[in-house]
Amino acid sequence: MGESGNNPSITIDWIKGRLVISRTAVVNPGERGNIMEGQLNAAKTAMEEAFGQFIRSMQFIRVDAYNTAQYVLRHSYEKNDSLFRYNERMKRYSLKYDDCTVTVTKTYPFFGKEGFAPLLVRAGEDEGNFPKYPGYKFTAQFSGLVIDARGLGRIPAFAPRVFDEAHNTVFCVDFMRSESFERWGAVQYTSDPYYRGFQDRVGNNPFRVVAIRNDRLIETDIAILNEDASVLLQNKESRISLEEGRVIVILDPEVLFEVYK
């Protein structure tokens, strides 16, 4: 078999919503000097070790405020088995050859038809059960929600939560429709304050708010003003947009693209 290279790579891209695993193995032609056989063996080695990197990557992916993907899998045999079978189904990969090495790269989307996040997170457990605020605030029909949470030390996760100042849950995966979560997740993360490329997700009239500092929250979660939460949730159509996951969160760029060796 080929010998392992020294450059395994795990890339977590929260903007594009994908996990990319890359593994390089060294070609060893053996005594007969057969390069093709050496490349084949190296490819097999790289594929086997890519699976190991996929499992290792689970320790770096945050599912929610309390759990990494690794923690969830360790405490749920059913989810662990589902993820293993998912990896077996993901046959598509790219190979890059040269005379000395073979590199295997596999891409795992978080959401969509081939996404693995829904195997770890159950959405829709309390669909549409948003908090109710007393009194009247002028409001409108919002097509989505955009939260600017830059500069607050927030980090991405599959199931972030949005709270108000009184720590009422304004938005979470429990309030979403499960099919919407499976389609594109709870939120779209970006570092672009104009969220270019993702405008369709929140439509032509999103409600734009700035997150507030709340050091009591775990770093995956976000707080907004009570008044903003009240304005957002008064309108039925606005609540429906939240159920559909029409939410964009703007974070600092350094937390949205992670590479592990």
Q: Are residues 246 and 210 in the same domain?
A: yes
- When divided into structural domains, the chain yields a total of 2
How far is Cα 50 from Cα 89, in angstroms, rounded to an integer?
14
Same domain, 109 and 33: yes
DSSP characters over 51-96? HHHHHHHTTT-B-SSS-BHHHHHHT-HHHHHHHHHHHHH----EEE
Cα–Cα distance, 116 to 18 (Å, whole number): 10
pLDDT one digit per residue (tens) for the chain, 261 residues: 334 445 659 999 999 999 999 998 888 876 566 678 778 888 888 888 899 999 999 999 999 999 999 999 999 999 999 999 999 898 888 988 877 888 989 999 999 999 999 999 999 999 999 999 988 778 899 999 999 999 999 999 999 999 999 999 999 999 999 999 999 999 999 999 999 999 999 999 999 999 999 999 999 999 999 999 999 999 999 999 999 999 999 999 999 999 998
Same domain, 114 and 8: yes
Q: How far apart are CA 140 and CA 188, in angstroms?
A: 23
Give residues with Cβ within 8 angstroms of 179, minimum separation 6. none
Tokens 């097999």 belong to: 44
Element (H, E) at 9: strand 9-13
Give CA–CA dist 120/105, Å, rounded. Answer: 23
What is the structure's pLDDT at 68?
Answer: 98
Beta bridge partners of 25: 4, 102
Q: Which pLDDT tens digit goes with each residue over 203-254?
A: 999 999 999 999 999 999 999 999 999 999 999 999 999 999 999 999 999 9
* Both tokens assigned to 58: 């689970």
Whether 138 is in a domain gets the answer no
Same domain, 181 and 74: no
In a domain, 85, yes or no: yes
Neighbouring CB atoms inside 10 A of 197's CB total 12
Cα angle vertex 44, ends 39, 49, to 5°? 125
From the list 184, 188, 194, 202, the residue with the least C-alpha distance to 238 is 202
pLDDT digits over 45-59, tens only? 888 889 999 999 999
Residues 150 and 205 in one domain: yes
Q: Residue 25's domain spans which residues?
A: 3-120
Q: What pLDDT score does 238 carry?
A: 96
Q: At what angle do helices 236-243 and 226-233 cross, to 10 degrees?
A: 100
Give yes or no for a contact between 250 and 175, defined as CB atoms under 8 angstroms apart.
no
25 and 101 Cβ atoms separated by less than 8 Å: yes
Give pLDDT, residue 3: 41
Both 84 and 179 in one domain: the answer is no
In this structure, are 205 and 101 located in the same domain? Answer: no
Q: What is the spatial distance between Cα 4 and Cα 65, in angstroms, rounded to a whole number?
A: 36
Q: Do 156 and 209 have their domain in common?
A: yes
For the chain, the 3-state helix, strand and coil shares in percent, each to the nearest 5, are: 30, 25, 45
The DSSP secondary-structure symbol of 164 reads: -
Same domain, 9 and 115: yes
* One domain, residues 112 and 169: no
